[in-house]
Amino acid sequence: MPEIKFNKIQSYLWEIPKQGGMRVPARIYATEKMMGAIQSDNAPVQAANVAHLPGIVKYSLAMPDIHWGYGFPIGGVAAFDAEAGVISPGGVGYDINCGVRLMASKLTRAEIQPRMKSLVASLFRSVPTGVGAQGELRVSSKVEKRALLGGAKWAVQEGYGSEEDLEYIEENGCVAGAETAAVSERALERGKNQLGTLGSGNHFLEVGYVSEIYDAEAARALGLQLEQVTVIIHCGSRGFGHQVCDDYISVMNRAVQKYDISLPDRQLCCAPIKSPEGRQYLGAMRCAVNFAFANRQVIASWTRDAFASALNMSKNEIGLRLIYEVAHNIAKMETHLVDGKKMRLCVHRKGATRAYAPGSHGIPAAYAAVGQPVLIPGDMGRYSYVLVGAQGAMTDTFGSTCHGAGRAMSRHKAKKVARNRFIAQELAAQGIVVQASSRRTLDEEIPEAYKDVSTVVDACQMAGISKKVAQLKPLGCIKG
């Protein structure tokens, strides 16, 4: 592809015009200051490559946390005509329905900070973490398939949480159209002992508090107040989702040849949505989406147990209430206005969050006046953010915004930077208690390995695709 050239549309928006085989322009949401780092890992090339795919509508989009990924950039959003477009595993990612859950308690920072060591230890005992982690919840293939069809609803029926939780999960914790027959035996085997496990890498469970409020009305609607203790759970579909992606990349590579689809990058392998291969992938992907919803629901239940045990308080006294849960890696059938006309689309969000504006269909009634909550985790040393969807997302980004800070350095480089340092001690000096299954994880996930998430959310607010509500600061964290 020719050298990438950018046209500046706004102070927060850049466009790569159509060239070569691009069917639409590519657009990147970022400030001028951010663009140097964004260009350094060639992620804009991936955004331009996505624009070659059949049936893509309007633009290939990238959020301010864009960085290099498999096929699509992480932070990529693309919508395809539901009738004439394609579905691509690279546009969803390996960790299908990696997502974030936010819970808020009745407790304050002052009440909990002196007991953080025992609380973090209790959480680490209760929630299995790390590569290949297996939980206490061992299920048969028959029961696992029920979880794949029922998602968080299945978990609630099994005693993990309450019906009220379901109201505050994207898609109410279960997507329709899951097809267990489309899932391989290998995926089922990898997943059956991983429900209720956190995993490794950038996945975490963090106890924090509300440090700043930017929008008092939205904060009241969400039930957030200064100094309130919160919990963020960030994880996905574990080995099950990874295997589903792996299985269907092979299927899609054959489909590209079968349907004579020309690609600038073989990692964009895909199939027509209406094809047998496309329908099979959607059925399997939805199983993984539901696996992740069930996984986070179980983890949340064990988190409530760990709080009660460590603090010697009743769950009612602690009051860990689900604020919301969002998906980051997903493809969904949605209806959006395109050039003034309603259009059925398959929206790929890879490292991006749905951000529906006030009054939109599909968000909890309690949040209708302020918009869908958007949960943006940062790194374990600084802060995370709660946002709400804004009208610009509905008109410009197919109801989407950023999903996190985005990496600023590779895991290999982070380990080199962290060499001869003691990251847990550095964080403890900041008042943050951290426990991980390995020192390697802490080294790879040092705070400076990530962009400052405040610059990412500020760019999204400037663009009018989401709006800041509150900042959360960490007190304790467990990682794989």
Q: CB-hemisphere CA count at 13 Å for 329?
A: 29
Distances (CA, A) of 453 to 57, 366, 381, 446: 29, 27, 11, 14
- 403 classed as catalytic: yes
Residue pair 308/318 in contact (Cβ under 8 Å)? The answer is yes
The helix or strand, by DSSP H or E, that contains position 415, with its residue range, turns out to be helix 411-418
As a whole number of angstroms, the distance between CA 344 and CA 335 comes to 5
CA distance 350 to 53: 16
Query: What are the helix and strand counts (H, E) for the chain?
Result: 17, 19
CA dist., res. 324 & res. 374, Å (int)? 8
DSSP class per residue in 21-43: T-SS-EEEE--HHHHHHHHHTTH
Which of the following is catalytic: 52, 361, 403, 412?
403
Return the closest-CA partner of residue 336 out of 373, 301, 362: 362
Distance CA 335, CA 243 (A): 29
| 231-259 b/e (C-beta count within 10 Å ≥ 16 → b) | bbbbbbbbbbbbbbbebbbebbbebbeee
Phi, psi (deg, nearest 5) at residue 42: 65, 15
Token pair listed for 214: 């930017």
Count CB-CB contacts under 10 A for residue 143. 15
* CA nearest to 271, candidates 245, 251, 289, 285: 251
Rg for the chain, CA atoms, rounded: 21
Q: Strands across the sheet with 13-16, in order?
A: 7-10, 13-16, 26-29, 56-67, 74-81, 341-350, 329-338
Q: What angle do CA 454, 457, 460 make, to 5 degrees?
A: 150
3-state secondary structure of 423: helix
Q: Which residue has the tokens 């964004």?
A: 38
Residue with tokens 């709006």: 467
Residues identified as active-site: 403
